[in-house]
Each structure stands twice: as structure tokens, then as C-alpha cells.
Chain A
């Protein structure tokens, strides 16, 4: 009898596989001739261009293309490796990105090259909250000290010119913590190497923190959230490849420049397609090399923890909310509470869970330093609570009113009737629906990356940013989700059948 549902699950699984591999094949053969002329800045608006959203490349390209009424040619990506991936798949004609990462990309992908003219030139600096003049001064002093000690030049040699192998060894014996926000998808400035963050700005930040006598804590978050994090006090400062613009100066202060850099244009060499790596080579590069599979394993752990505890909160809280609503419905008591609960449910169901997550992290916990796992558990738990409350309420209402009347006629209190008779039956009715809610919650946690939590999805994104390869990491992540959810669904169907057997 369980074989049937197993077979159904397998059928579903194989369908997904087929879909997935077909799309994988298609992705390699896309692209069309757009008549792109990338010979000079005057004509590049005829090309499909990719940029990382929120970067100075984005601003510059937008300005230029707007002036030529070619804004439709711009595609904005969350990270520049995503843009490079799209370029390799022939979905773009060029990518505009900072000089150093551009060199990094080209060295990794032999079919790419950098055009010999620059898009622009700029200088990177750290950022500090507007009102925090004192910290600004301290960081600037520390930068000067670092320059005097030769740290900055030696780091440049290591990371920018690739001619040295100096690394700054953090001392970290300060007692007070200072928090730096960054977006570690920007080699060679900040990126992941194994499970550690490295890069020019990362090591420089350690040096600066040591000189200031502070302990450095690094928060890896989305690039477009960094300014927000710094100005709201979630982070004290950021080294993340920020160039000075008048617009940004309205919101934050810039430190002394950390480095001078150009913005480059990356294109495909003529006639080159794909990286030519075999399947097993790709597999090795994405998962085995530098133990990259650990991003997935660690991410899976986080995903499961967040999903488990938020489901727990969702069910407990949802149960309480449902009781408030049912008591109000049957007795007319708890009017105010019921109003609040209804409002809460409507707000939660009427807004995207991602916005709720961001609000909880950046608004509600803005000035408190809490663990991100806790924030994610709270956000998804509070979200699930609203849905669970409605599920349980429906379950309670579905219990035959005769059960309540029988309890009444035996002189039982309302409380006893609910506790011993109604609730057990209601919960049994809604168990499958609750399990399904748990499944969709598990999938929803995939947006945890937005507050910098490295969950399963984010783990895949990190691998992607290291290998510039979309297919393998995405498929791996999808398959892992599919397996967990497959197991859960199977459990639910077994449970459902058990429950049916007991009654009726």
C-alpha cells in the first residue's frame, strides 16, 4: 500500500529530472545576433549589457544608456558572477564590472576577455554612518597607520597585482567588537575561499580593526542592503568596493580611499562558446575542489534548523491564535484580541514573506545584535503562524457540533470539551495540512540569504559565484530540496493513511 505513493513520488521525481536536463541543454544553446558594436563607448549601447545591481557600474551604465534611449539593453544581476554566467551563456554581449573582479573572471574563463578601453575609473573607499564622525576619524587614522606600515601596498601586491604572497595575520586581541558589513561576491576584494572570507578589503579591515584595538565581526549581506545596514547601525562600517558618488554621500560618510580602480568591459572572445569542461570536470570544480560541497552541507543544516524551529513556532502560535478566534466566534468574548489577531493574519497574508523578513531584520531588530538564525526563525515562524491559525481554525470548525453538545449535556466545562474532545479531533483533521504548511515553509526559507544567512540556496549561490557556472550548483540545490520534500511528503502520506485507518 505504501508502494503506490512511493511509485507516485518517483514518477514526479523523474519528471522533474527530465525537465531539468532539457532546460540545462537549452541554456547552452541560446543567444541571438543583436548587431552589437562594442568598438567604443559611443556605440556600446547597441549591446546587451549586464551589471551588478546597485554598483557604480550600474549607475554609470544606466546614465550612459539612458542618454542614448537604450535602457532596455541593460540587465541587472544580484551579483557580478551571475552577470558573467549570463555572458558565457550568450545571453549578454558584455558585462561592465570593476577592473579587478574583471581580471579575476577572465583568468577563470578562457573564453572571456577584457576590452582595451575602460568604461570609467574610480576610487573605492570604506563607508561609515553619517553621524559617526568619531569612528570615521579612527578608521582614517588606522588607514594611515596601515599605509605607513606598508600593509596596504603589500596587500595590493598579493591581491591586485598577484605578485606577492603576503597575508595580514589578524591579532584580534581587542575586547570590544566592531561589525563590518560586506558582500563577499567580489573577488579579489572580498570573496569566499573555502569557508573563510578573504580578499583585499577583508584583510585590510582586520588590520584596521587591530590598529583600533577592536575585534572584527564580518557580516556577509546583499550589496544593496549594505548602506542601509551601516546607516541603521546594524553594522559599524563597510569595506565593500564602494566608490564615492554624490548620491551616496547624502546617506553615509566615505573614509580615505582604499584603492584606485577602473571599470572594465568584459566580452566573449569571437566564436567561443561554453567552457568545454566535461561533466565530471564540472562536477569536480563545483563540489570537490576546495571542498565546495561544504557550502551545501552547511547550508542544508541551516535550512533544516530554520525550517524546523519556525514550523514549531508556527504551529504553537497558530494554535493559540486559532483558539482566540474560535472562542470569540462561539462566545463573543475576547473581542479586542480577536480584532488584533485578524489584523495580524491579514497583514501577514497580504504581504510577501521576503518583505516581512527584511522588516524584521532591518526595522524591528535594527539596533539589536541578534543571531541571524534567530531572526529567520522569528520571521518564518511569525509568517507561518498566520497560515497555521487559519488551518487549525478550519479544523476546529469542521468538528461535528454534536461532539460539543454531548460534552455540554454531560456537564463538562467548555475548557474540558475543547481540551479532551474538540482539539484532539481538530488536530487530527488538520495534521496533513499542517505538514504541507511545513513543506512550503521549508521552501520559503530559501530567501534567508537576503539577511546574509548562508542557507542551502545561498550555499549554492556562493559556489556559483566561485565557479561562474550556473547549472551544477543550481541543480544540486534543487535536487537536495526535492529529496527532503520528497521524504517529507512520503511521511505525510503514510501518516494520513494511518489516521484514516484509526477512524471511520
Chain B
């Protein structure tokens, strides 16, 4: 049973004929879609099909080789350096390998960017971080270094770190794939909580049950494009694409 979500008409992200190649190797070809405020989009597909590449081009970690990415009314592919530096903090990202800053404490991981950007003062940021860490039960770990945390704890801190920038959309790239099974749940609960609070998200995942329950929309990526785009019911219960059907068979057998 998927959730009923408040999805307004406001378009946060509009992707138009996006292309991406690495050298001669074309990964994405003319991908187009829009993301509305409040949508939670799960991205599924066989590994190596370009899911990561897709969401990494959205915040310019990979430079697109063609097409346009509109964030509200700004085209990221045409914007100046200065405009980009204003927009990127509004697009959060959570990585499969957490990528917490190894040389900073948990608290500094969270407060560093908002303080540098002038979004919060040092004191405000510290208070905010303490409050958030308390909420996710990691207040005790505030002054520890990432190496002293478990994988699940690291990923939850990474999510909080992203939220500290008050983003309009968060991109997740397989946030639970690097975790031991017993830690998957704690991370997914936090993601779910975030989704329920109305955050706009795109989430690459192999957790099919979670995709089905938490998302409002599902993309199936294959052969350099989005082959199927629909509600979880449409995609999981009524797959039209032959490849999608094979893919779902394979994952359900696991």
C-alpha cells in the first residue's frame, strides 16, 4: 500500500533530453522527465544501467554531454559558476559509501557546510545538529569521528548532514547497499520519515519492498533511458516492459 502524498503542481526539476557519455560509451540518451514538489521517485534497474550516472548528472557531479536540467526556472547546463554555487546546496545527495568527512567529528560533518554558506551561525548549527542527533539517537556520538561509527550510524549522519543545508530535493544513491543487513532498517526508517514529512526525493534502490511502499512514482532505467515511469502499482503489478518483467522476476527470486 503506497502512501497518499500531498503533491503540488510546482515543478522542482525538469530534465530535457539529457545525454551522458563517458568517451565513446553512451550511458544516457535523451532522458526527459519532471519532478514535482513532494514526489518520492524510486529508480530501479539492473546494475550498470546508469542509475547512478543519472542522479549524479542532476547535481553536476558528472557533467552532462547534452540536454538541459532545469531547477525551477534556472537551466543548470547554462548557468554561471556563481548561479550554480547557489543552486547545488539546494540539491542534497546521499551516497552509497556515506562519504562522511573522515577528519571531522560527527557534529562538524553536519555543521560545516551550513556555517560556511552562512545559512546558520556556528551556535545555531551546533544546536540544530544536537537536536537532530538526539532525534535519531546519536547524541552520544556527536564528538566521535566517522571511523568510530557503524555503517548505519554513518549513513544516518550523512542524511542529517544533507538536511542541514535545507535542500529542496534529496538524491539518494543506493543508501543501504553498503550496509550489513541488520542496519538497513534503521536507515530506511529515517528515509521513510523524511519522505513522509513531504521532502522531494529521488532514490536509487534495490529494496523493492521499500520502493513500493515509500515511493509515489517509480522509474525503471534500462538501455540508456527510462523505460517505464509510473506509480508503484503500475510498475510492480502491471509491468508493460518485457525487460522490467524479467528484472522483477530476478529480484523477487533472490
B129 shortest CB reach to chain A, Å: 14
Contact A411 B102 (CB under 8 A): no
List which A386-414 residues lie within 8 A (CB) of chain B: 400, 402-403, 405-413
Contact A416 B101 (CB under 8 A): no
A279 CB within 8 Å of chain B = no
- Given A409-B92, A410-B165, A421 and B113 contact (CB-CB distance below 8 Å): no
A330 CB within 8 Å of chain B = no
- Given A410-B161, A413-B85, A403 and B99 contact (CB-CB distance below 8 Å): yes
B112 CB within 8 Å of chain A = yes
* 11 A-B contacts (beta carbon < 8 Å): A405-B95, A406-B101, A408-B60, A409-B61, A409-B88, A411-B117, A420-B101, A421-B103, A421-B104, A502-B147, A503-B102
CA distance A411 to B90 in the complex (A): 8
Contact B113 A410 (CB under 8 A): yes
B93 CB within 8 Å of chain A = yes
B145 CB within 8 Å of chain A = yes
Residues in B whose Cβ lies below 8 Å from that of A497: none
Residue of B nearest to A502 (CB): B145
Return the contact of A409 from the options B93, B100, B102, B147 (Cβ within 8 A).
Answer: B93
A92 shortest CB reach to chain B, Å: 61
Residues in B whose Cβ lies below 8 Å from that of A408: 59-61, 88
A424 CB within 8 Å of chain B = yes
CA distance A312 to B15 in the complex (A): 52
A249 CB within 8 Å of chain B = no
Residue of B nearest to A504 (CB): B147
CA distance A400 to B100 in the complex (A): 11
B65 CB within 8 Å of chain A = no
List which B121-161 residues lie within 8 A (CB) of chain A: 145, 147, 158, 161
B149 shortest CB reach to chain A, Å: 12
CA distance A413 to B85 in the complex (A): 8
Additional pairs, 12, CB under 8 Å, beyond known A406-B93, A410-B112, A411-B85: A402-B99, A403-B102, A408-B59, A409-B93, A410-B161, A411-B113, A412-B113, A421-B104, A424-B103, A425-B103, A428-B103, A503-B102
A138 shortest CB reach to chain B, Å: 66
Scoring B residues 153 to 179 as 1 if CB is less than 8 Å from chain A, else 0, what string do you get? Answer: 000001001100100000000000000
B164 shortest CB reach to chain A, Å: 9
Residues in A whose Cβ lies below 8 Å from that of B162: 409-410
CA distance A6 to B161 in the complex (A): 43
A441 shortest CB reach to chain B, Å: 27
Contact A420 B112 (CB under 8 A): yes
B97 CB within 8 Å of chain A = yes
CA distance A407 to B61 in the complex (A): 11
Residues in B whose Cβ lies below 8 Å from that of A504: 147
A114 shortest CB reach to chain B, Å: 71
Residue of B nearest to A410 (CB): B113
What's the tally of chain A residues with a CB closer than 8 Å to chain B? 21
Contact B103 A406 (CB under 8 A): no
CA distance A425 to B147 in the complex (A): 13
Residues in B whose Cβ lies below 8 Å from that of A420: 101, 104, 112
CA distance A429 to B92 in the complex (A): 29
B166 shortest CB reach to chain A, Å: 12
B249 CB within 8 Å of chain A = no
- Given A411-B113, A411-B117, A428-B103, A405 and B165 contact (CB-CB distance below 8 Å): no
Scoring B residues 80 to 111 as 1 if CB is less than 8 Å from chain A, else 0, what string do you get? Answer: 00000110110111010101111110000000
Residues in A whose Cβ lies below 8 Å from that of B112: 410, 420
Residues in B whose Cβ lies below 8 Å from that of A424: 103
CA distance A402 to B98 in the complex (A): 8
Contact A409 B59 (CB under 8 A): yes
CA distance A400 to B112 in the complex (A): 19
A267 shortest CB reach to chain B, Å: 69
B1 CB within 8 Å of chain A = no
Contact B103 A411 (CB under 8 A): no
A333 shortest CB reach to chain B, Å: 13
CA distance A408 to B86 in the complex (A): 12
B253 CB within 8 Å of chain A = no
CA distance A400 to B98 in the complex (A): 12
CA distance A412 to B116 in the complex (A): 8
Return the contact of A403 from the options B93, B101, B165 (Cβ within 8 A).
Answer: B101
CA distance A421 to B147 in the complex (A): 15
Contact A503 B97 (CB under 8 A): no
Residues in B whose Cβ lies below 8 Å from that of A402: 95, 97, 99
Contact A416 B116 (CB under 8 A): yes
Residues in A whose Cβ lies below 8 Å from that of B165: 410-411
CA distance A425 to B145 in the complex (A): 13
Residues in A whose Cβ lies below 8 Å from that of B99: 400, 402-403, 405-406
Residue of B nearest to A405 (CB): B61
Residues in A whose Cβ lies below 8 Å from that of B158: 406
CA distance A409 to B113 in the complex (A): 10
B157 shortest CB reach to chain A, Å: 12
Residues in A whose Cβ lies below 8 Å from that of B116: 412, 416
CA distance A99 to B60 in the complex (A): 83
Most buried by B among A403, A405, A406, A424: A406
Most buried by A among B60, B91, B116, B117: B116
- Given A421-B103, A503-B102, A410 and B147 contact (CB-CB distance below 8 Å): no
- Given A406-B95, A411-B117, A421 and B101 contact (CB-CB distance below 8 Å): yes
B51 shortest CB reach to chain A, Å: 16
CA distance A216 to B145 in the complex (A): 63
Residues in A whose Cβ lies below 8 Å from that of B104: 420-421
Residues in A whose Cβ lies below 8 Å from that of B103: 421, 424-425, 428
Most buried by B among A410, A421, A425: A410
Residue of A nearest to B114 (CB): A410
CA distance A421 to B109 in the complex (A): 10
Counting from the closest, the 4 A-B pairs by CB-CB distance are A411-B89, A406-B99, A409-B93, A402-B99
CA distance A504 to B103 in the complex (A): 11
Most buried by B among A409, A416, A428: A409
Residue of B nearest to A416 (CB): B116
